[in-house]
Structure 1
């Protein structure tokens, strides 16, 4: 395998970066780290084995490692490959939960929002303004205004602006694309946005930094038992095909919509999860003229029109979401033609220049894991989480919101700690900055000097800082060593080649799809869904990962087949035909494991 470790950072500062703890690392995820993690998990009994590499699983691994427990994490595909890369990308309390009188959930989520904005990951989470359009002159302003005022009050003292009431003229000044005949005014308030996949990755890297052994492309195929107690799991390495056993004092099932499937290995479980499909569209920035996003009700869900990313970096809008029951394949939920028409129709009720199919540059669908309740409507099922030990040695954590992942992780490890034969400290994760957050503000303040030293425009540096935080000097050092990495990616000029290199060299990407879909959002931010960019970056990614020419061709073919299958699914009328079309492209990991 080619040695492409970055050049020393030299005179490019990485302010306040802590030295790795004994037994831990710098948070680098690469093939060598993966091999060490597999060796560690197969060679010793762990305190905790976490199954699932979404935000809940990554958060649980970080919580365990930060308390001094030995912990492993296995993920069948990639970090955030499921729900955690397909959300509305909001860190929020949830206004609709206030209407449901779920004050505890809203307060908890708003507290977590403040932690992320101020301390844990300010480079990845940032405030964005929203408008709530009003259509009634009297009761609606009072009703909605009271709810948003309570929302602000429950958030406490934050650096975010408070809400304000707007007349129709003021609202249209902020959002000229709104239909003047639809609204009598608006209320402006603030929430926060996150790149969910990059945030999940940062949590996983921080867990690795503090000693967690983590590996993707590792599927649990059964549990290991002694008597009635689960003492570990049998794991298949989907990259090589080998199987090995990981022994642990506690196994934690953090697999989201796969919760019931994993519980089935134990023969029983106390939590039942239903999947709700949420579809989102991505359209270019110039299709909607507004300095704020907006949110409104629909008959069956909530409509968000969200700037992606936050001003002044906005280049796209995200429009979502649907909320419909899904009982088909969980790995690749498909957006149908009906889903796309529904979202366009709901958005066009508010826009003075209607959007069409030709305006849609990206589409993605995700599944929310909802705890089964008495309601038949998935939109009314609980977004609170549950932690249970239905089988000795197995803890299941499920439900919840992305925003409250840290609380879910804490509760899961609190439950695991009760079975340990030693005192386990309280979680410190509310005070533990994620990878890239250490010294971020200082690095941000140095952006003009970093631009001058690297030869990149300051806007490029700001783009990198909002994605990599205080890790940016590592990327700039790589460009200094290999200037070709400073070139824009063909077909995705917002990104630099060094980002593709870094995805493989530092961020655990094992396949081309990992790079284009989750490390960068090229698959939903470009008209060709990343096909041109795939050809541009396969060489540098393959160089890091040691791919021969056949493997590079296979990776490109898989990515092209995936894009074709997704596009075909989006022409289908219903979920069943869309799902059948999307399954025309097999999962890259399953395919590779059977070929070897």
Structure 2
């Protein structure tokens, strides 16, 4: 990816060339489409009105999971497809995806029992093509409590133990985009599609506006794809909604608690009385819990966690872990995301299918709607397959099934051994082993590029940041189009969610470094700080 300082060049490129494909939307779906298209030999442009991954793609449950609960709704094909995609995502990006053993406890009078859990997980393994060492295990009550002693013992009958994959959704999106850019795609954040341009009644591009400077430019393309998630209908209205279908948005909320207050040892997937399924997942000294599922009819740009949302999750935790006794004061941070589901009359928020559909308008606009994070690659493949009618040449099949993402190309190297060896190397520069491992896992193979930044960032006189922080910050400035504090603390590192105190103690210094490195004005610096302060306030329980 490029730097903020390359914006003028990138805008000139967008304004000067006619592309094969223009993707509107820089979340995981749009990123996947850009990568699929560019890897098939098409020329590709992508624009995003916010930061990359600024919407749903930085606000999910951060799991690449197969949707076990969808078996209850008999959505067998979707479970099979996204289940198989989990391992593909993992193999192509091990540095941002890792196996997570999940425990599904079952209780007397609960929604799951020994037989239904055993059969359900076995079917799940079969549909998802799970490898032998990761297939489900059925556990006794005693074995469940050994894995997670905090669980409620009364009524516990046993549990199922199976594998999902944990990820950082925003970083996964960034690594997909960076790979697309490595292959030649032109991608730019903070660039909004304002209106379509037409030739003989067919869409031939867009007029776009730079949200940072208000500059306008024209981007021409043979095919235009609307991959804007919750904003799909807003973009379609600029053209036409001629198939009678529309989105139904639902909101999901997560809370984060320090593990000193909630010493969760094992990731748990559990049911609550209203039929919802909730995850509780340990991560880097924290435990996060989610998600809620409620209809949402407001602006999807800034969904917030309400007191009611937080109380719902706290009650769920305290019911299953009765000795923890969490209160709202224990919640360090929250996040809320909006799911762009395809409307189904008469169904509750949790019952609406997570399936995806591809629509084509009379004027040629291709729209991808619905879907899940886990299935992004297959959704992208299916969408690009639909572009054949725009081109006389035969499009080759998708290349992405075995295409490592940026930082994920370990070749024949053993991933764990690579992490160990590179971490040892970084210790010689003064990093602790834990700092070194975190940095290497954060960047993957790209840590080799970041090593070259050490002589420069060592000169930064910023006591609040250790060397690992400095390397990470400078790498994202140089390679990941960071333009603001929010870009860095929310979408590039996730620190606002998982280490909010560090954000509070360091953002002043980071703000000054961004100002210096990106040549920002004092007005831009102040706007960035005000935005981050608003996000900090929104992340805390009100």
For normalisation by structure 1, the TM-score amounts to 0.86
Task: Give the match for residue 445 of structure 2.
Answer: 470
Structure 2 spans left out of the alignment, 5+ residues: none
Shift of 1:194: 0.6
Is the 8 Å Cα contact of residues 51 and 253 (structure 1) preserved in structure 2?
A: yes
SS in 2 for 1:286: coil
Is the 8 Å Cα contact of residues 23 and 45 (structure 2) preserved in structure 1?
A: yes
SS in 1 for 2:126: helix
Is the 8 Å Cα contact of residues 505 and 544 (structure 1) preserved in structure 2?
A: no
Task: Give the match for residue 277 of structure 2.
Answer: 302
**Greater CA drift, 446-455 or 342-351:** 446-455
Is the 8 Å Cα contact of residues 58 and 170 (structure 2) preserved in structure 1?
A: yes
Residue 365 in structure 1 maps to residue 328 in structure 2 = no
Task: Give the match for residue 236 of structure 2.
Answer: 263
Cα pair distance change 1:448/1:507, threshold 3 Å: closer
Is the 8 Å Cα contact of residues 104 and 159 (structure 2) preserved in structure 1?
A: yes
Counterparts of 2:270 and 2:200 in 1: how far apart (Å)? 54
- 1:455-475 deviations in Å (ceiling 9; x for gaps): 322222211122110111222
**Greater CA drift, 154-163 or 183-192:** 154-163
Shift of 1:487: 7.5
Task: Give the match for residue 404 of structure 2.
Answer: 433
Counterparts of 1:169 and 1:157 in 2: how far apart (Å)? 26
Task: Give the match for residue 19 of structure 1.
Answer: none
Give runs of aligned pairs for residues 75-86 of structure 1, distance below 5 A: 75-86=48-59
Counterparts of 2:104 and 2:401 in 1: how far apart (Å)? 31
Residue 239 in structure 1 maps to residue 209 in structure 2 = no
Is the 8 Å Cα contact of residues 251 and 292 (structure 2) preserved in structure 1?
A: yes
- 1:483-507 deviations in Å (ceiling 9; x for gaps): 25698855xx796122122222111
Task: Give the match for residue 366 of structure 2.
Answer: 395
Residue 412 in structure 1 maps to residue 387 in structure 2 = no
State which of 525, 534, 540 in structure 2 corresponds to 1:561. 534
Shift of 1:424: 1.3
Task: Give the match for residue 247 of structure 2.
Answer: 273
Counterparts of 1:183 and 1:129 in 2: how far apart (Å)? 19
Counterparts of 1:165 and 1:137 in 2: how far apart (Å)? 19
- 1:540-577 deviations in Å (ceiling 9; x for gaps): 2222211234432332233213323554xx43xxxxxx
SS in 2 for 1:378: coil
Cα pair distance change 1:488/1:169, threshold 3 Å: farther
Cα pair distance change 1:389/1:527, threshold 3 Å: closer
SS in 2 for 1:376: coil
Shift of 1:448: 4.5
**Greater CA drift, 282-291 or 247-256:** 282-291
Give runs of aligned pairs for residues 163-174 of structure 1, distance below 5 A: 163-174=136-147
Cα pair distance change 1:137/1:374, threshold 3 Å: closer
Q: Which runs of 4+ in 1 moved over 4 A?
A: 484-490
Task: Give the match for residue 327 of structure 2.
Answer: 356
State which of 102, 105, 115 in structure 2 corresponds to 1:130. 102
Shift of 1:527: 4.5
Give runs of aligned pairs for residues 197-596 of structure 1, distance below 5 A: 197-270=170-243, 271-298=245-272, 299-308=274-283, 314-351=284-321, 352-439=323-410, 441=415, 443-484=418-459, 489=464, 496-528=469-501, 530-567=503-540, 570-571=541-542
- 1:127-184 deviations in Å (ceiling 9; x for gaps): 1111111113998101111101121222325375322222222211111111212422
- 1:493-544 deviations in Å (ceiling 9; x for gaps): 7961221222221111111110011111121123448222211211222222
SS in 1 for 2:134: coil
For normalisation by structure 2, the TM-score amounts to 0.94
Give runs of aligned pairs for residues 62-81 of structure 1, distance below 5 A: 62-81=35-54
Structure 1 spans left out of the alignment, 5+ residues: 1-27, 309-313, 572-596
Counterparts of 2:271 and 2:459 in 1: how far apart (Å)? 48
Task: Give the match for residue 586 of structure 1.
Answer: none
- 1:291-319 deviations in Å (ceiling 9; x for gaps): 311111221521110122xxxxx311110
Shift of 1:375: 3.1
Q: RMSD over aligned Cα, in angstroms?
A: 2.1
SS in 2 for 1:391: coil
Counterparts of 1:98 and 1:277 in 2: how far apart (Å)? 22
Is the 8 Å Cα contact of residues 47 and 188 (structure 2) preserved in structure 1?
A: yes
Task: Give the match for residue 79 of structure 2.
Answer: 106
